Amino acid sequence: MADEFDVEFIRGDDREARILVRGLTPAFANGLRRAMIADVPTLSIDTLRVVENSSVMFDEMIGLRLGLVPLTTPDDFEYGDTVTLSLDVEGPDTAYSGDLESSDPDVKPADEDIPIIQLNENPSGENQRIELEAEAVLDDGKSHAKQSGGVAVGYRHLRKVSVVGDRGEFDEEETNILRGVIETEDGELVPTDEFDHDLTERYPGKELEVEDVPGAFVFHVETDGSMTVEELVLRGIDSIESRADELQEKVAV
Amino acid sequence: MMIPVRCFSCGKVIGEHWEEFEERARDGEEDPAAVLDDLGVDRHCCRRMMVSHRDLVDVVSPYQ
Ligand SMILES: [Zn+2]
């Protein structure tokens, strides 16, 4: 195992990023990926108290939709802690996630424009209406996918591309598809979408050699908005650390 | 009925993009592929959520 990690942000924003980590073993890289998906807890609506629901959907369907709305999750919550949110919309109108009123200013829908339910006017003349109180609970992705902060978190090896010669004069110029991030001979890191994932586009007429860089992994981390990418990675690492500590304690006794 | 909140396969929130997609690609003249690229709905699992969706609330509503 290498004695030092080296971390580099290749590209990204708060919601989606590519991060290069050197000095990892495949097992540890996968452990981190799984921690980000299943072990970092987030707040999600889990229980409803429905006061009125005259919409076209059953209470349970509304409950599922509300549960899937990502809520911003500060790091001072414990497993099982709850936050109350309320929704009160009368048609003709659409209830959006942004209409949810939270009792905690730090916990609010990460996206405000998710349609929950469209409310119309009934043929009899009265308006459809929805009024409810919802309880959001802190739990992790092992209990329900809605509690998972990471979306499509994965990694690939960093690949080194080197030119070994010219392609034969009469060889066919064919596509050479590679996805991820490559390291050029000058040590430059290039995401493959910059040349349409086609090595022939970047190195026309060249004979290439592509090989994995040992211990270098490019993570693609995307969050649902409940926290930033950086926070998700840090909390994933914290979760591994705290479990390792707990194991150490138990073994030592 | 309503556009699902998240993609069934990967879990990305896609519901928020539906109304713009409907306005620009369904009711408007724009190319659906270009609109989806523009909205940042990149993976084909998420794209099929938008492309294959029908709003049914107005159809069901009279029978409430
Ligand atoms: Zn998807």
**What is the CATH number for A178?**
3.30.1360.10
CA dihedral A68, A70, A71, A72 (to 10 degrees): 160
| pLDDT in the model for residue A1 | 52
Which of A140, A171, A201 finishes a domain? Answer: A140
Q: Which run of H or of E encompasses A7?
A: strand A6-12
Question: Parallel, antiparallel, or unpaired for β A129-139 and A42-53?
Answer: antiparallel
Domains within chain B, CATH numbers bracketed: 1-57 (1.10.10.60)
Task: Fill in the DSSP letter of residue B26.
Answer: I
Report pTM: 0.88
For the segment A134-139, the average pLDDT, to the nearest whole number, is 96
Same domain, A50 and A86: yes
Same domain, A155 and A30: yes
Residues of chain B neighbouring A118 (CB-CB closer than 8 A): 2, 55, 57-58
Task: Fill in the DSSP letter of residue B15.
Answer: G
Domain of residue A54: give its range. Answer: 43-140
CA A118, CA A62: separation in Å to the nearest integer? Answer: 11
Question: Which of B5, B12, B16 is opposite residue A152, by nearest beta carbon?
Answer: B12
Same domain, A134 and A211: no
Same domain, A33 and A55: no
- Calculate how close chain A gets to B55, using CA atoms only, in Å: 10
* A95 in a structural domain: yes
A11: which strand partners?
A18
The burial class, CB within 10 Å (0-12 / 13-18 / 19+), for A171 is exposed
Same domain, A58 and A181: no
Q: Tokens for A157?
A: 């090896």
| pLDDT in the model for residue A168 | 79
The single-letter code of the amino acid at B53 is: H
Q: Tokens for A115?
A: 């349609």
Tell me if ipTM is over 0.95: no
For the segment A11-28, the average pLDDT, to the nearest whole number, is 91
Q: How many domains does chain A have?
A: 2
| pLDDT in the model for residue A3 | 65
| pLDDT in the model for residue A122 | 83
CA A116, CA A93: separation in Å to the nearest integer? Answer: 11
Report the SS3 class of residue A37.
helix
Q: Which run of H or of E encompasses A237?
A: helix A229-252
Residue A173's pLDDT band (boundaries 50, 70, 90)?
Answer: confident
Residue B44 sits at the chain A interface (C-beta within 8 Å)? no
* A169 in a structural domain: yes
| pLDDT in the model for residue B35 | 96
3-state percent helix, strand, coil for chain A, nearest multiple of 5: 25, 40, 35
Report the SS3 class of residue A38.
helix
Residues in chain A whose Cβ is within 8 Å of chain B: 54, 56-57, 61, 65, 68-70, 97, 110-118, 120, 122-123, 128, 145, 148, 151-152, 222, 224-225
Same domain, A134 and A64: yes
Residue B62 sits at the chain A interface (C-beta within 8 Å)? yes
Which of A140, A171, A205 finishes a domain? Answer: A140
Query: Hey, CA dihedral for B45, B51, B53, B58, is it positive or negative?
Result: positive
Instruction: Say how many CB pairs under 8 Å bridge A and B.
Output: 66
Q: Convert the pLDDT of each residue in A193-233 to its tens digit.
A: 899 899 988 888 888 999 999 999 999 999 999 999 999 99
Residues of chain B neighbouring A70 (CB-CB closer than 8 A): 13
Same domain, A35 and A158: yes
Question: Which of A56, A68, A152 is opposite residue B64, by nearest beta carbon?
Answer: A56
* A195 in a structural domain: yes
For the segment A51-57, the average pLDDT, to the nearest whole number, is 93
Residue B33 sits at the chain A interface (C-beta within 8 Å)? no
Residues of chain B neighbouring A145 (CB-CB closer than 8 A): 11
Same domain, A33 and A156: yes
* A248 in a structural domain: no
Ligand 1 mean position, distance from CA B20 (Å)? 18
Same domain, A25 and A63: no
Ligand 1 mean position, distance from CA A168 (Å)? 42
Residue B27 sits at the chain A interface (C-beta within 8 Å)? no
* A87 in a structural domain: yes
* A51 in a structural domain: yes
Same domain, A109 and A189: no
Same domain, A50 and A107: yes
Instruction: Output the CA–CA distances (angstroms, integers) from residue B22 to B29, B36, B48, in the order listed.
Output: 10, 11, 14
Same domain, A65 and A134: yes
Q: Of A37, A5, A1, which Cα lies nearest the Cα of A21?
A: A5
Question: Parallel, antiparallel, or unpaired for β A181-183 and A189-191?
Answer: antiparallel
